[in-house]
Amino acid sequence: MAGSGVFGLGRFDGVRKDGLVTGEPRRSPVVHREGLDELLERARELARDGRRRILGIAGPPAAGKGRLADKLLQGLGDSAALVPMDGFHLAGAELRRLGRQNRKGAPDTFDVAGYLSLLRRLRAQTVGGSDEVVYAPEFHRSVEESYAGSIPISAEVPLVLTEGNYLLLDREPWTEVRGLLDECWYLEPDDGKRIGRLIARHVRNGMSRGRAREWVMRSDERNAALIAESRGNADLVIPGDIG
């Protein structure tokens, strides 16, 4: 059943006739104590009945969300596709117009309505029932901008993975995201390692190490604290680093 977790352990049970989960909370998240193979099997189970399912992967910046999603894609092959939330970053020019350029990555620096619209389109896409392709944007760190129409999602794909910081956030309008996911996992790595990866990421993208550390501690970690408050909305909490 969508939203109930493939092993009956999820927090959101109930499915409407149109296939959308109801988003009713059920219980606390389960803590995953095994490895990547078990996560891959859990994802396979979601895709097994051939209907469109959406699996979310949430967590703070540099938690390893994209890395885990890539590993799942490798194991799932043609039965899955990935749509990152990062594709809905507001453009740099718009952030400057709004005066939010120094807070890029905060919840109000994304096109949430656009992300919700895409998730609804993906849920409504009939698997195997048409030749429809839904296109999603993709964020490019090299230019710090998103390109529209970059990721094609075929109607042949039963499982869509989506990863991002705010999938579980208890703040409108982000709260609507959770009800569109059949299941959502929360990554909880060691904070010291995660912050180190985050600083290194900013340095690779052109910041000095000092500037990168300042940005991480002032902006990214403020967002991380907010994201951590949403942990309890997950079906599964995955501690440490996977793979």
Is the link from the previous residue into 173 a cis peptide, with omega within 30 of 0?
yes
Instruction: Look at residue 192 in the predicted model and tell me its pLDDT.
Output: 93
Integer Cα distance of 184 and 53 in angstroms: 11
Instruction: Look at residue 27 in the predicted model and tell me its pLDDT.
Output: 60
Q: Are 155 and 206 in contact (CB under 8 A)?
A: no
* Nearest in space to 61 (alpha carbons), one of 212, 170, 176: 212
- Kindly tell me if the per-residue pLDDT of 198 is higher than 50: yes
Integer Cα distance of 182 and 4 in angstroms: 7
Higher pLDDT, 24 or 14: 24
- The SS3 assignment for 130 reads coil
Q: Please tell me the CATH code under which domain 12-238 is placed.
A: 3.40.50.300
Instruction: Look at residue 7 in the predicted model and tell me its pLDDT.
Output: 35
- DSSP for 68-105, please give it: HHHHHHHHHGGGEEE--GGGGBPPHHHHHHHT-GGGTT
- The SS3 assignment for 14 reads strand
- Kindly tell me if the per-residue pLDDT of 10 is higher than 90: no
Integer Cα distance of 136 and 80 in angstroms: 15
**pLDDT (tens digit, 9 = 90+) per residue, 71-93?**
999 999 999 999 999 999 999 99
Instruction: Look at residue 243 in the predicted model and tell me its pLDDT.
Output: 57
Hey, where are the domains in the chain?
12-238
Backbone angles phi, psi at 172, to 5 degrees: -65, 145
pTM: 0.86
Rounded mean pLDDT, 161-184? 97
Region for residue 64 given its phi and psi (left: phi exceeds 0; alpha: psi -120 to 50; beta: otherwise) = left
Rounded mean pLDDT, 169-185? 97
The token pair that represents 192 in the structure block: 């010291």
Angle at 79 between CA 40 and CA 67, to 5 degrees: 45
Instruction: Look at residue 129 in the predicted model and tell me its pLDDT.
Output: 76
- Kindly tell me if the per-residue pLDDT of 143 is higher than 90: no
Region for residue 188 given its phi and psi (left: phi exceeds 0; alpha: psi -120 to 50; beta: otherwise) = beta
Backbone angles phi, psi at 178, to 5 degrees: -60, -35
Lowest mean pLDDT among 70-74, 101-105, 129-133: 129-133
